[in-house]
Amino acid sequence: MADVINHVLNTMLGLNAPEWLIIFISNSIAVTLIFAIAPLQMLFMTYFERRAIARMQDRLGPNRVGPKGIFQPVADGVKMFTKEDIVPTAADKMVHLLAPCVVAAPVMFMFAVIPWGPGMYAVDLDTGLLFFFAISSVSAVGLMMAGWASYNKFALLGAMRAVAQMVSYEVPALISIAVIVMLTNSMSIVSIIEAQSGLFISQVDVAGIPDLGLGWFIFSPVGLLGFICFFIAALAEGERTPFDIPEADSEIVAGYMTEYSGMKFALFFLAQYLLNFLLCAITVITFFGGWQGPGISWLWSMAVSEANPAGNPIFNVLAGILGTFYFLAKTYFFFFVMIWIRGAFPRLRVDQLMGFGWKFVIPLTIVNIFSASLWIGWIRWELNPDLAFLSALGEPYSFARWGFAFVATLVMNVAAYTLMTRINRSPDETIDELVADQVFGAVTLR
Amino acid sequence: MELLIQIIFVLISTLILGAAVMVVRTRNVIHSALWLIASFFGIGALYLLLEAEFLAIAQVLIYVGAISVLILFAIMLTHNVTSGEGHKFYQRWWLALLVSLMLFAVILVPTLVGQDWTITARPSEESAIAGAVEMGTAFMREYLLPFEIAAVLLLVALTGAIVIAYEERAQRRRILTLAQELALRKQQQQNHAEE
């Protein structure tokens, strides 16, 4: 952003603006854009989810306000604004007021490191990926505040469930993302996307074939297992349906949101939908190449960039539009998968949720780390100076090595997956064993 | 730019100190935990001001995201502490002050004595000491033994927690599905009839 502003102000208009002014203007524009785009995403997502889930449940969904009901979220927003703000008498007023802000603010922070297209990011932190997850864990504090300050048992139970779930599913999410950090050698989100250019034969450049932007990590066995584990953890972090026990409406009304109304409730809602959007976005960025896709690198090679200052700004715009299209299309596909899962699966119990996280997902991610290190070792062992002579063996050799690494890690991951499903299979206990268990256990059924 | 950084530093340290004072001043235990979180957050901002990006993020991830949640959980699950009575050890506040000052001095005095206060040149841009790469290399090379010892200690703590919290399988009533419950009742009725 800063180099574009610099180009416009100093080169094109000749204003000779100082550096701090350029940085200030570019950051202001980025922040304004984020604050304008994020609520719009949320509006569209609520509409999209309601229509999609209605279609799956053989209903129509909202279809009255505007063509096909597209203005329904706006009407909902107006309704939220005009609702009375009710605070329980026994509530802790200050904490009750602060809680929605503490939940919503980290989500807006997380947008800062998301790249929408080539060169379209607010900041490129060296530790961007870690920043994303660190700042998302702050909202757990907000949930606790909401649950406690409401002075309501449902709210407190919901907050406890939400926080327990978030804390325990953060572990598999971070471990499966660590695999990507190992593969790219970087925690910067921009360089993670740039590492996924080229062909789907990851890490091997084939001469004579153009850069199709298809070197996504999902096409390696390591990335595939990482994606499965990460997406499950993302469902739990975003409180999506198989794991929506914190706000299970048939059990605890609306969880931590029970005592909130009007715009405070809307803030929780906003935070939740934006978190879902961001989790889909980070899935796309780490495993599906972000804005990478056919045609991007061709357009970007002609645009104004650090490597090519003499480019044409039109191609910046074109590459940006195409990149944003790829990014949003993939992100909304994964949001659709979330809705799809909501339409297809019943809710888990709390103990099932914890058991699934700790006994199934976490062991798989740990196996995945192991196979990722083997994969990296096999793919890149000529980087070791002692083994440099191997790179002289030429292309067929490196293809063979790539194929061997692919098959070996695939076998390892599939074996781990099968083993984990076998271990975690619900035991086929006979009724006698159940009776024995009950007799040993409590007296209630005797 | 220097002045701006100094103003920001003063603001952040006021936030940290104010929040820390509020931690011990408020009578409500939950409120003091929340003030403590604010103070942790301010320390993260201070790290960011020192351009120790990784340290700032780790501070937020570990202290704000995990430890404070643990504190809140512990307070909420403890019986009768959230009622807001507080200040049960108020008579011996001078003793507490003395102990905390001495503990603070244990950290501060060696630093003050050992520090060379004549700073001649600013460190160059390249010599980052708190980046992710530098810390990773330091952990894997220079400080490998302390790192491994900390890892083993954490593992022992984890196992210990499980051992303490684990109920014997026989002491625990199983949660059954409706179908299992029905089958079980039928079986028991049958057994009853046979007797």
What would the DSSP string read from start to end of A176-241?
HHHHHHHHHT---HHHHHHTT-S-SSTT-PPTTS---S---GGGSHHHHHHHHHHHHHHHHHTT-G
Q: Do B76 and A145 touch (CB under 8 A)?
A: no
Looking at the fold, whether A155 and A109 belong to one and the same domain comes out as yes
B58/A167 Cβ within 8 A: no
Does A59 share its domain with A163?
no
Asked if the Cβ–Cβ distance from A126 to B65 is below 8 Å, we say no
3 state SS of A127: coil
Domain boundary among A49, A75, A101: A75
Tell me: pLDDT of A446 over 50: no
Residue A291 has pLDDT above 70, yes or no: yes
Would residue B121 count as lying in a domain? no
Q: Is residue B191 part of a domain?
A: no
Contacts of B172 in chain A (CB under 8 A): 441
Query: Whose CA is closest to A135, among B65, B50, B132, B55?
Result: B65
Residue A154, domain member (yes or no): yes
Between residues A169 and B2, the one the model is more confident about: A169
- Whole-number pLDDT of residue A26: 80
Same domain, A154 and A19: no
Mean pLDDT confidence for A277-305? 83
Q: Quick one: average pLDDT of A264-282?
A: 89
Q: For residue A438, which residues of chain B lie inside 8 Å, CB to CB? A: 173-174, 184
The predicted model gives A397-405 an average pLDDT of: 78
Full-model pTM: 0.81
- Verify that A287 and A345 share a domain, yes or no: yes
Number of structural domains found in chain A: 2
Q: B73 lies in a domain?
A: yes
Residue A445 lies in a domain: no
Question: Is A234's pLDDT higher than 60?
Answer: yes
- Written as six digits, the tokens of A177 are 């993302």
Which of A94, A124, A126, A192 best tests the B interface by mutation, with the highest count of B CBs <10 A?
A126
Total number of domains constituting chain B = 1
Evaluate whether ipTM surpasses 0.85. Answer: no
Q: What pLDDT is stored for residue B178 in this prediction?
A: 74
Whether A446 maps to a domain, the answer reads no
pLDDT of the residue at B2: 76
Residue A117 lies in a domain: yes
Mean pLDDT of chain B: 80
- Looking at A19, A46, A75, the residue that finishes a domain is A75
Which amino acid, one-letter code, is at A159? A
* A359 located within any domain: yes
**Residue A424 shares a structural domain with residue A346:** yes
Based on the fold, state whether residues A22 and A147 are members of the same structural domain.
no
Question: Are A331 and A209 found together in one domain?
Answer: yes
List the single residue in B31, B170, B175 with the smallest CB-CB distance to A440. B170
Q: What is the rounded CA–CA span in Å between residue A69 and residue A263?
A: 22
In a domain, B114, yes or no: no
- Average pLDDT of every residue of chain A: 80
Of B61, B132, B183, which has the smallest distance from its Cβ to A133's Cβ?
A: B61
Residue B113 located in a structural domain: no
Q: Which of B64, B132, B184 sits opposite A434 (nearest CB)?
A: B184
Range in A251-255, A343-347, A368-372 with the lowest mean pLDDT? A251-255
Range of the domain at B11: 1-82+130-142
Q: Please give the Cα distance from A109 to A37 (Å, whole number).
A: 13
Whether A319 is in a domain gets the answer yes
Interval B56-99: pLDDT, tens: 888 888 888 888 888 888 887 776 655 555 555 567 778 888 99
Over residues B149-173, the mean pLDDT reads 79
A324 located within any domain: yes
**Which CATH number covers residue B15?**
1.20.120.1200
Residue A141 to residue B180, Cβ atoms within 8 A = no
Examine residue B136 and state whether it is found in any structural domain, yes or no.
Answer: yes
Lowest mean pLDDT among A5-9, A31-35, A95-99, A205-209: A205-209
Domain of A2, in residue numbers: 1-75
Last residue of a domain, one of A45, A75, A105: A75
Give the nearest partner residue to B30 out of A148, A160, A351, using CB atoms. A148
User: Taking 60 as the threshold, does the pLDDT of residue A258 lie above it?
Assistant: yes
Burial class of residue B86, CB neighbours in 10 A (0-12, 13-18, 19+): middle
Which residues lie closer than 8 Å to A290 by C-beta, 6 or more apart? Answer: A115, A189, A192, A193, A196, A284, A326, A327
CB environment A88-125: b (16+ within 10 A), e (fewer) = beebbeebbebbbebbbebbbbbbbbbbbbbbbbbeeb
Tell whether A63 and A142 lie within a shared domain.
Answer: no
State pLDDT tens for residues A134-146. 888 888 888 888 8
